[in-house]
Amino acid sequence: MIAAAGLADGEAAFAQRVDDNAIANASDAFGQAIGNEKVGLYTVDDVRGFNPVDAGNTRIEDLYFAPVDRLPNRLIRGSKVHVGISAQGYPFPAPTGIVDYDLSASSDADQLTISAERGQFGSQVLSVDALQPLDDHLKAYLGGTLRRQKRHEGGDFKGYVVTGGLTWRPYAGASATVFYSRNRAYDDETAPSIFPGGDYLPPKITRRAMIGQTWSKRDNLQELAGIVARLPFGSWQLEAGLFHAERRIDANFTDLFANMRPDGTTANRTILADANNLDRTLSGEARLTRTFGTSALAHRLIVSFRGKSGKRRFGGVQSIALGESSLNFADERPRPTFAFGPDDTDKSGQATLGLGYTMTAAGRFLLDLGISSSRYRKTITFTSAGLVTSVRDRPVTGSVTGSVNLSRALSLYGGHVRGFEEVAVAPANAANRGAVPPAIHTQQTDLGLRYTITPALSLVMGVFQIRKPYYNLDDQANYRELGTSSNRGLEASLTGTLRPGLSLVLGNVLLDSRISGELVDSGRIGPRPIGSIRRRSIANIDWRLGGGKSPLSLDFAAESLSARVGNASNRLSAPARKTFDLGARYRFNVAAVRALLRVQVANVLDDYGWQVATNGAFQYSVGRRFLAELRVDI
């Protein structure tokens, strides 16, 4: 998604104030979010062709955290992708990039914001954020959202979020934040996942027509609680975070429209019904940092302990064969009687000890070194098959990154990182659906430059290469390691202010994704991963009239995507796409109350295209939609 494009289905809306603006506040074009606005080449789900959340590369306020789902809205006020130059000096970087979230409860500014949104296709969202002092050292945060979301593929769902937190600041630089969030989505109607049976695209389906089964409604609940503390004492600082995340899925459905014919029909439509699923993690990090030296040559030494304990309950899936069916009309079937099988379990644990060292010469160079040693275990029990699989590993990973200033305007950066990352869960169309492979060894090398054109405008260009094992479906639909994937790319970012009130974010990434291994060598699959693209370009402009002082501002966003690989043989591609968004903001006061009216038309030209998931499922793109929001700071 591009900047200011509003919310996708089920996507988090972060705590946001009247003056927040993702384009005007962007430091680069590599990905960040403020409130319900996103800007940049990358998102929390896609960085340089990989998913950093699936890989376990997530942080809450710089501290290691293992999520079970997207973070609930209101709990978080924003996020940033750390990759390339933005990962310089970041403790213990990762090859797939790192997504770092900021807590609403730990913000410095007092806040009482009420927001009413008219979302896509008439969706309705009401949100409240309140951050108020209780005394000189203690602040309380309360937030909530009520949502009725209309999905772009038809159907809708209901949801709510309640969240709260306390932040205690006993002395300068010290803080401790505790928080809790509860997020439920229910009556969530399931749309078909379309799998063409040959090298052809699905027919053009009427947008917003609900062609799923009315009884296939998902219901899930997510809870997240934790504490983050920072305690400086002299040249030392202790930082610690402990997080408990849990997701319970009481009802889950996947509508598989497999082997679709060119006319949009299939002989074997199948509903996979599932229930009683659980995903729970306890994770966190304790970090001791010492800084010493002078302003001319500063040193930082870090000792870190990161840990995770995870438990999953999955499986017991009931397969409901619907037989002959069509995408061209609502093919409603009677509600079946559900009879689920026995559940499978997955238990994992990881403990990592890390040492880091950073040397910084002000205005001259930065050198960052890190090394980590981990103990990892995973045990999966497939109850119905009477099979128990177990794996253990003791990887040693590390990083060497740095930058050097060649002049006041020009600096070079680069580095090499070896990591140990999780793998995504086996998809719904896999024979071993829900299984999670063991963690994998990964590596990344990047090199680039930053040029400061003016004090308010900067250019970043870099090249990178990431290598990791490649997991997907084999000929028998088993999700397993098929070879090695290598993503090489060239990325560029131009961000800043051209003149007072005129901000821009321009980005481009050229990506060469390739697979190597036995199945490629034998010609059974093509050399490029399903869902991969060769290019993504974005352009975002925010123009606040009156030299940045007018209450009115206009914004424009454009995104251009190259063709996307559509199947394992690489003989099918989803065509290239271009989308454009137009929006405006008007700021005004009512007595002492500050307010913002924001309107937008997304996908102005109503471009119709196809998105392709990594498992080969097709879904049509979101059509033209009108969005409006009234936000009030009291």
User: For 406-421, what is each residue's pLDDT tens digit?
Assistant: 999 999 999 999 999 8
Q: Which two tokens stand for residue 175?
A: 């803080």
How does pLDDT run across 255-273, given as a tens digit for each residue? 999 999 999 999 999 999 9
C-alpha triplet 115, 175, 349: angle, nearest 5°: 90
Q: Per the structure, how many domains does the chain have? A: 1
- Give residue 291's identity as a one-letter amino acid code: T
State how far the Cα of 580 lies from the Cα of 599, in Å rounded to an integer.
Answer: 15
In a domain, 11, yes or no: no
Q: Are 596 and 587 in contact (CB under 8 A)?
A: yes
* 10: in domain: no
Q: Closest by alpha carbon to 115, among 147, 140, 141? A: 147
* Alpha-carbon span 59 to 61, nearest angstrom: 6
* E strands, 190-264, in order: 192-196, 217-233, 236-260
Tell whether the model's pLDDT for residue 436 goes beyond 80.
no
User: Domain with 448 in it: what CATH number?
Assistant: 2.40.170.20
Going through 151-216 in order, the beta strands assigned E by DSSP cover: 156-168, 175-189, 192-196
Q: What is the pLDDT of residue 31?
A: 92
Mean pLDDT taken over the chain: 91
- pLDDT tens-place string over residues 134-148: 999 999 999 999 999
Cβ contact 145:125 at 8 Å: yes
- Is residue 334, in this structure, part of any structural domain at all? no
How open is the CA angle 355-80-156, to the nearest 5 degrees?
A: 130
**What is the distance in angstroms between the CA of the first residue and the CA of the last residue of the chain?**
31
Q: Please report, for residues 55, 150, 223, 292, 326, the alpha-carbon distance to residue 257 in angstroms, rounded to integers and kept in the order given.
A: 28, 22, 32, 61, 9
Domain hosting residue 401, numbered range: 22-329+340-633
**pLDDT tier for residue 16 given thresholds of 50, 70 and 90:** low
DSSP label of 527: S
CA distance 2 to 37: 9
d(CA 544, CA 498): 12
3-class SS of residue 521: helix
The pairing of strands 298-315 and 610-612 is unpaired
Residue 466, H or E segment: strand 457-473
Taking the C-alpha atoms of 470, 474, 479 and 481 in order, what is their torsion angle to the nearest 10 degrees? -30
Cα 133 from chain centroid?
32
Tokens coding 551: 């209450």
Residue 2 lies inside a defined structural domain of this protein = no
| pLDDT > 90 in the chain, percent | 73
Helix segments in 541-617, DSSP class H: 545-548
Q: Is residue 1 part of a domain?
A: no
- pLDDT higher than threshold 70 for residue 199: yes
What percent of the chain has pLDDT above 70?
97
For the segment 195-222, the average pLDDT, to the nearest whole number, is: 92
- pTM beyond 0.75: yes
Name the helix (H) or strand (E) containing 109. Answer: none
Task: Tell which residue, 472, 479, 488, has the closest CA to residue 568.
Answer: 472
- Alpha-carbon torsion (523, 529, 531, 533), positive or negative: negative
